[in-house]
Structure 1
């Protein structure tokens, strides 16, 4: 697949095989497919453009004219959920939701076809199950109006129901296109029988208590992922199954948690930075930066890999989202690194591990959240976060050194001083972009969400007036690609947020805190348990939800056993970052695969040395408090 129709080169996605469209058996299906494409892609492209204009107008109005637009963030938030859901619809239609295919591809062809059909039906079951709760949630939210514009909140959350209906239509079209009639009937009968059996034994699940956590959040997720169900839908169906079969909780809570996960305004920086990355490439800024950096380090083995680590260190925290950070860096460096012979999987391993490495770099939302829920000084957390990330970067640099020590540089010549100087002046407007973004945030001109729009405006001006490269015909495809990639990422976050709520309500968080406070070994024992626990929590819950849940419980225990709160915070954040980017459950790993357009199966085998290096760095950070507290 090429360009917009792929996620990471060979990413197998929710339907890429078998959901990727082939020539339909009936002309009507082709017509319906085109209608769905138009109904999702055109509004999504318009929404991306509107979000950019609204937030940029807010910055200009506030900073230039000293007349803030009070409703800009509110309108951006209302449109954002529609953008996220339409993007998820586009990703499903194009086959761009991330999924694993390692086990499925190893099965005999006949069995593989059945497993792939079952994966499609799991997607159908999840989408079908949320349509009615989405409608009920729409009715509940209709009574709430936004404070400035007085728009019914139901108009915003209707995006979830509309998106679910469109997804259901896409799944039905793909099933009719791909599956033989007899095979589809048999699969539907088997699925209906399985659902019936599970419903009949529902009283048994009520008696199992917390064993259900293992059954649904480990067993069901693992089986779905192994069968090639898209990651987001695997999380979603596990959560729905847990709530429906083992609790009395209404399923509308799943929709509300998905809304919460996808609607956080800070996540709006994800599509905006994705678009900024595409814009940097189209206008020539990426080429100018890469040419200059290559002239400096291109003759060094692994030179551009070191540049990637440095770039992630510098830009991290600007957007408040690891996915957005990676989206800002990857388009400028990965294409040139691939041209120089770097393997796709190894590049994604480096990109994802650099995202884990940079979790403690301020201004990190996770650090701000820790300060707000635990009372730890945010200024102290910011001061303590730089050195732990540097230790992680050095650990990754060691791995890069060994992986690239035999790199063939026979075709690479060292640039002369005059060439470097010339390329520097050419690249200067492009190199200024990160400093423009950082300055805009530091001076309070724009928020972390708005800053990407300033970068977009700067890039447009530089592309038009300085580099004189601006292909207007590419704008619409770039807007659609931005929506698709962002929707795939945000839908994972939404479903993961719902799953996190299910874990919390089970009492798992309270039980964990009680168990950790009773571990033997005092300070050292508590720290060891914390490291492993937060690696797991980071994989399942991500940073902010995990901190909100467990920070108030565990930080007092850490203080009681004599651990400095800033030191403990750095260990916790670094560990969660490691879990967030560790397959098979780490959402950050799949986000990196989507951004870098590489098959998760291909990248997974390369990521372990980098994660091992980060784990060594984590041990050092945990064992040496000065790394976190030396600059306080």
Structure 2
């Protein structure tokens, strides 16, 4: 075989191997999503309808959940869907960009190679633990970690060969190995530096990897392993234990289930029914469809909890009509991204669920407290949209008659009822914040089949796979960030941070102002969930000590991160909005800043008036 043909043949083999392995893992992950839904729903029905608890349901759900998280992470790795910052890598010259893409796979390979033996050891030790209800060895659950890491390692190796070719794959592995060797050689010199190592590993190394486009979960993981292995006597297996703890909170089961629910809302036509009603109600007034966009995102966010699903449900329905009415593409994507930031606190937001799981704040209280701050920011965005539409001619717009509005309302009522059903089920004690999503899923299936009759069985499999992929990406970040947060806490950093924050001038006001600024920056670099997992356990105790209500503080930091997440040039949420809208990011760069400044002003009001967040608790 000629030398030039060898890389082509290697890539073809790699593509076939990756496709076969990926199909098997995707099928298993999709089945796990369906089984988890069925198990939790069975527990709700048994307890509420038959007044008999299934004592084994939560235990089985916990075992399967870790498997779902790890297999979902494998699927996300194969699809290139792990969260990472690509703003700089995409602007690099072609040759450097290709090398950075290879490094984004090679660095996770190093993480997996370093951690896999410890994951195996951890699973072996868990075999001595027996579950109380099913009486199964703990290794049945813990084995998900080494199996998932092993599969991810295989996928990563094949993916690196496929996307980079043999030459660039070897070069990227050599670069990663050389950097690791330099750190290992410098280990004896690093130990005497004390907490200065926190800056080296958790600021310098993490920042370098994030900017290079390495997935965030692996940035956290590599920095934590390097810090513990080279500067402390703590065994690296602790990282596996912390990851297991971070990914195993049963409350986090709400993440895949609400993602699944959001996709069902879009597929069954429920989201479209709500949007059509709002358009008939407000579409004829000046800037009316902008109000509809803001309101639709608020309603849909209250159902799906996933911003990508929210935007994908709303934009294709509204944007064609808004274009016909003369809206500029840049204005459309700017408002869509702004509404993504505005609705970060609307329950059942995945960030709310995450913040509750890592800080111990009541999920029910967060769900209640998040409604009004989102509504306040909705009003702020509508005011900006109204001002920008002040000179627009609306004389030619058709005003729907009362009968048409009532008809669209009648069609939308089954969809509009879902957010109230979810909230009522939690408040009345029918289901927990984790289980309530299964009620929503059952409701969406029934309404889709019997009322809207748009349930497409062919899309169910891909939706389950997408759910597992996004869930795995989120949960792996939570696991890695939990390990990193533990290392920071053990170093004494949390005490130093608490002392520094307590010494800020201005008391509560100064603390909230610094928190807003810090989380805007963190949201643009780390995204909401990893930033919350990393800094929530550190800052929430400080907020309590300073007399700031936990729910109030949660609203402030979540909305601040939303601005960072959806503001260009680094906010990945903005680029997601552009991709969903099929609008160039350049077109929205200028108009979005008016909306972002308005949101910032709204957050200042929310921070200054705690009642907005806690008035209904």
Q: Do they fold alike, i.e. is TM over 0.5? A: yes
1:410–1:98: structure 2 CA closer, same or farther, 3 Å change rule?
Answer: farther
**Count of equivalent residues:** 596
Distance in 2 between residues matched to 1:591 and 1:281, nearest whole Å: 19
In the other structure, the counterpart of 1:555 is 544
Give unmatched runs, 5+ long, in structure 2.
1-6, 324-328
Whether 1:93 and 2:78 are equivalent positions in the alignment is yes
In the other structure, the counterpart of 1:334 is 315
Secondary structure at 2:256 match in 1: helix
Distance in 1 between residues matched to 2:355 and 2:151, nearest whole Å: 38
Backbone CA RMSD of aligned residues: 3.9
Secondary structure at 2:305 match in 1: helix
1:398–1:244: structure 2 CA closer, same or farther, 3 Å change rule?
Answer: farther
Distance in 2 between residues matched to 1:115 and 1:41, nearest whole Å: 27
In the other structure, the counterpart of 2:35 is 50
Distance in 1 between residues matched to 2:613 and 2:406, nearest whole Å: 38
In the other structure, the counterpart of 2:459 is 474
For 1:159-558, list aligned pairs within 5 A.
Answer: 159-300=144-285, 303=288, 305-307=290-292, 309-310=294-295, 324=305, 326=307, 329-339=310-320, 340-341=322-323, 345-346=333-334, 349-358=337-346, 387-401=372-386, 413-521=398-506, 524-529=509-514, 531-532=516-517, 542-543=531-532, 546-556=535-545, 558=546
Distance in 2 between residues matched to 1:283 and 1:380, nearest whole Å: 30
Distance in 2 between residues matched to 1:436 and 1:200, nearest whole Å: 59
Distance in 2 between residues matched to 1:289 and 1:505, nearest whole Å: 49
Deviation sequence 1:338-390 (CA, Å, 0-9, x none): 434466853662243124454899996689789968xxx99999887665554
In the other structure, the counterpart of 2:58 is 73
Whether 1:111 and 2:100 are equivalent positions in the alignment is no
1:404–1:357: structure 2 CA closer, same or farther, 3 Å change rule?
Answer: farther
CA positional deviation for 1:266: 1.8
Distance in 1 between residues matched to 2:359 and 2:101, nearest whole Å: 46
Moved more, 509-518 or 78-87: 509-518
CA positional deviation for 1:576: 4.6
Q: Is the 8 A contact 1:298 1:304 kept in 2?
A: yes
Give unmatched runs, 5+ long, in structure 1.
1-21, 560-564
Distance in 1 between residues matched to 2:497 and 2:420, nearest whole Å: 43
CA positional deviation for 1:224: 1.5
Q: Is the 8 A contact 1:302 1:404 kept in 2?
A: yes
Distance in 1 between residues matched to 2:8 and 2:316, nearest whole Å: 32
Q: Is the 8 A contact 1:326 1:592 kept in 2?
A: no
Secondary structure at 1:582 match in 2: helix
CA positional deviation for 1:213: 2.1
Distance in 2 between residues matched to 1:241 and 1:549, nearest whole Å: 21
CA positional deviation for 1:131: 0.9
Q: Is the 8 A contact 1:289 1:332 kept in 2?
A: no
Q: Is the 8 A contact 1:74 1:148 kept in 2?
A: yes
CA positional deviation for 1:270: 1.8
1:624–1:184: structure 2 CA closer, same or farther, 3 Å change rule?
Answer: closer
1:110–1:402: structure 2 CA closer, same or farther, 3 Å change rule?
Answer: farther
Q: Is the 8 A contact 1:531 1:572 kept in 2?
A: no
CA positional deviation for 1:142: 1.9
Secondary structure at 2:452 match in 1: coil
Select which of 8, 22, 34 maps to 2:19: 34
CA positional deviation for 1:628: 5.9
TM-score, length-scaled by structure 1: 0.82
Secondary structure at 2:10 match in 1: coil
